[in-house]
Structure 1
Amino acid sequence: MHRIQKLKTYICIRKVGKMENIVAINLTRARQFRGLTMDQLAGKINCSKQAISHYENGVRYPDSKTLLAIGDALDLELDYFYSDSSVKFSLHNISYRQGFGLDSKQKQDVEDETSSLLSDYLELEAIAKELVVFQNPLEDLVISSTSDAEKAAKQLRKRWKLGEGPISNITGLLERKGVRIIKCDFDFFYTHEGLSGWAEDKKVPVIVLNSRQQDLSRMRFTILHELGHLLLVMAENVDEIAIERICDAFAGAVLLPVEILIQEFGKNRTAITMPELKRIKELYGISVAAIMVRASVTKLISWDAYNKWKQSDFSDFDYGQFSGTEEPQRFEQMLYRCLSERKIGFDKAARLARRDEAELRKIYSQQQLEF
């Protein structure tokens, strides 16, 4: 459709009051994804920052000339501004991954549910003006082996200034860095803790967590395994099975760097006691099984010693528990901030959070403090 015809359609729809919020949300999202401040966008189209603020908050709406200028400045077709603000999410190819076992319908169900939840998430981000643009700290590395994964994990800790100690809350860390973490209630039996994928033309990385009750140490490993899928640039000759091993190695190395292993265990061990393993698990939030894999991979114990241990009959769950939390918090934080600042009403907040409005009002009134 010609640009002028599109503008006429936009103006007609506005007259019946259906497009204002969509235009405001899409404008905010587009500006933030392109890394522009309101001042910078205003400069590009020769208007004031206050005008941009009014457009994004739905106080005023851009006229046809301004909307054309905004589209040119953001390199967007006019369709973007007044089309539905829903998001299309796509999972990584998971058909080859052992134990994942999603058929085509189940995969589509997960993608559809995540797309719906993510649309609400990004809409709330736009309203709150709190979109975090994701930057891959490892995009300059090409990974072809598990030893490369070890180096990548070390670089990640360095570039994100994590030091060598325990990471108390991986979910909170990733949410601050721009990874959207969403809990999804699968309507079918599915034993794995998480999946991952991208939305918004690979601008928005997403980790989908299975909302069923899970072992926290195992969940932390899974989150970092999925982060490996999102961050690591694989060499062209790496096959799919090797990719899984590389992501496992990356997750283990992020959780428990080799320097910490040596510090905790010493070198050339012939045996490791369960109290030692329990202590590491409780402190670093990594399962006993994953600790033993790390000890084997980094040659602190021999491969034969690892295989002998692996054949023993033990339940990881019985040997200590990590006492932290990995519950996603960012969506709820934005929701309550928007409510307290009156950027949204309870009806809108309840819809975005998929909760009963009366229940949300009750929780909010119990937590609110007036200043």
Structure 2
Amino acid sequence: MSVDDQLPLFGVPGGRTPTGGPSPQVVADAFDQARLTQARLLAGLTKKELAERVGVTAAAVGQYETGMTRPRPELIPRLAEALAVPAAFFLSGRPHGKLDGSMAHFRSLRSTRAHQRAKAVAFVEQVWELTHALERRVRLPAVDLPGFSGGEVHVETPGHPAQAARALRARWNLGTGPIHHLVRHMEAHGIVVVVPPPDPDADTVDAFSTSHLPRPVVVLTANRFDDIHRHRFTAAHELGHLVLHGDVAPGDSQQEREADAFAAEFLTPRDSILPRLPGRADLRRLAELRDVWGVSVDSLLYRCRELGLLSDSSAGRAYQRLKSLRGQPGFTGEPVSLYPGEQPILLRQAFDLAARETGLTEHVLAAELAWPPARVRELLGLPDPRPTLRLVP
């Protein structure tokens, strides 16, 4: 049975194809222009590229996406094939977490091209749609985050970033020592954290977050770095954006500095780390602290300078020595895969619970979302059931 065979028509009158899917006429009559834009962005295509694949002009695609005109019924199968989605993907009526690119904080904004940001935003929209579908069956943790309330951010002035970090530690009962399993703590307090599959077309997208959906979402990308200490700092950095900048338009370099300050205090509180930091650039001692606190030696060196233990010149010389030690024991990056507690599991666990209790399957979920089943498996981290075939030599 195909995905289209299982898709409801959301109250839209009309026919179905011989296989049971919605007919091109039905889809054309109830065409949702926003879905076309979303699918095109996810496919990484320009309007011109999509137009060439479908056999229309770029202007026509633009008119479809603005709702000025609708595609003719005979174009629906071509659009679906070109964008690798079921034809029913274009039907209106399903929940759509629409998000503008100006609502997301990108850590590497300057190096991230506009089309990459647009694709990343479309990905987050799908993450929310998947989350929403799972929440219809499973109660996820309530969002416990200062300034966040039901998709609308009401700012509780946190003061200085370091003060906000200490306040959140207290609110989450994290104490004053090292934070183990940071990503799990974020998920336990209602934040959706995802690591998308590697995408060569988004190699400059580092990490980003948004508070402008019914649940805050943090995306930690694996394209450029696979180092557990950078991964944790990036997660804390995005958490800082959620706490500090929920109502502020992103893109300000000052916001990035504030998110860094929040992350440093959240992971290594001043009053706790200061007595343990060496009074000189002792890299071996910092490597030992790295393993205890889960932050990089670079971050600890910066913390030493920030807290007045090292002068700028001493810190500069220490960074040069550190550069020469890269790859040596104690100074080598460790892959995130070695730390299960820092890998998101919330959505996968919700799916597994719904599967046990309600019989939910990836195909049912795909039908509800109007996605290919492979997309559901990809976002949930489910194994591909198809056998791996190889040619016999």
Spell out, residue by residue over 1:34-60, the C-alpha distance to the aligned partner (whole angstroms, 9 max, x if none): xxxxxxxxxxxxxxxxxxxxxxxxxxx
Shift of 1:346: 4.9
Distance 1:281 1:123 in 2: 40
Shift of 1:233: 4.5
Q: Decide whether aligned partners of structure 1 residues 231 and 315 sit closer, same or farther in structure 2, where only a CA change above 3 A counts.
A: farther
Distance 2:327 2:116 in 1: 29
Shift of 1:133: 3.4
Q: Secondary structure at the match of 1:135?
A: coil
Shift of 1:134: 4.5
Distance 2:327 2:132 in 1: 36
The alignment covers a number of residue pairs equal to 281
Is residue 354 of structure 2 the alignment partner of residue 354 of structure 1? Answer: no
Spell out, residue by residue over 1:156-182, the C-alpha distance to the aligned partner (whole angstroms, 9 max, x if none): 111111001111111111111111112
AA matched with 2:116: Q
AA matched with 1:302: S
Q: Decide whether aligned partners of structure 1 residues 301 and 175 sit closer, same or farther in structure 2, where only a CA change above 3 A counts.
A: same
Shift of 1:110: 0.9
Q: Secondary structure at the match of 1:296?
A: helix
AA matched with 1:283: V
Q: Name which of structure 1's ranges 238-247 and 299-308 shifts more when overlaid on structure 2.
A: 238-247
Instruction: State the identity %.
Output: 21
Among 332, 335, 345, the alignment partner of 2:361 is 345
Distance 2:230 2:262 in 1: 14
AA matched with 2:376: A
TM (norm. structure 1) is 0.65
Matches within 5 A, 1:1-371: 83-91=93-101, 100-130=110-140, 132-136=142-146, 139-143=155-159, 148-185=160-197, 186-191=199-204, 193-200=206-213, 203-212=214-223, 214-233=226-245, 240-265=252-277, 269=279, 271-312=280-321, 313-314=323-324, 318=328, 319=331, 324-325=339-340, 326-348=342-364, 351=373, 353-354=376-377
Q: Secondary structure at the match of 2:309?
A: coil
Q: Decide whether aligned partners of structure 1 residues 276 and 87 sit closer, same or farther in structure 2, where only a CA change above 3 A counts.
A: same
Q: Decide whether aligned partners of structure 1 residues 223 and 316 sit closer, same or farther in structure 2, where only a CA change above 3 A counts.
A: farther
Q: Secondary structure at the match of 2:185?
A: helix
Q: Decide whether aligned partners of structure 1 residues 120 and 95 sit closer, same or farther in structure 2, where only a CA change above 3 A counts.
A: closer
Distance 2:217 2:304 in 1: 30
Spell out, residue by residue over 1:142-196, the C-alpha distance to the aligned partner (whole angstroms, 9 max, x if none): 54xxxx2122211111111100111111111111111111222334252454111
The structure showing larger relative contact order (alpha-carbon pairs under 8 Å, at least 6 residues apart) is 2
Distance 2:339 2:10 in 1: 50
Distance 2:291 2:195 in 1: 24
AA matched with 1:354: R
Structure 2 residue runs of 5 or longer lacking an equivalent are: 1-8, 22-91, 149-154, 367-372, 387-393
Distance 2:294 2:144 in 1: 25
Q: 2:116–2:205: 8 Å Cα contact kept in structure 1?
A: no
AA matched with 1:256: T
Distance 2:382 2:349 in 1: 19
Q: Decide whether aligned partners of structure 1 residues 307 and 12 sit closer, same or farther in structure 2, where only a CA change above 3 A counts.
A: closer
Q: Decide whether aligned partners of structure 1 residues 257 and 91 sit closer, same or farther in structure 2, where only a CA change above 3 A counts.
A: farther
- Give the RMSD, CA atoms, in angstroms: 3.8
Distance 1:239 1:130 in 2: 31
Distance 1:360 1:83 in 2: 29
Distance 1:131 1:233 in 2: 22
Q: Secondary structure at the match of 1:196?
A: strand
Shift of 1:220: 0.7
Q: Decide whether aligned partners of structure 1 residues 157 and 347 sit closer, same or farther in structure 2, where only a CA change above 3 A counts.
A: same
Q: 1:137–1:156: 8 Å Cα contact kept in structure 2?
A: no
Q: Decide whether aligned partners of structure 1 residues 198 and 88 sit closer, same or farther in structure 2, where only a CA change above 3 A counts.
A: farther
Distance 1:336 1:159 in 2: 30
Q: Decide whether aligned partners of structure 1 residues 180 and 96 sit closer, same or farther in structure 2, where only a CA change above 3 A counts.
A: closer
Q: 2:194–2:218: 8 Å Cα contact kept in structure 1?
A: yes
TM (norm. structure 2) is 0.61
Q: 1:179–1:205: 8 Å Cα contact kept in structure 2?
A: yes
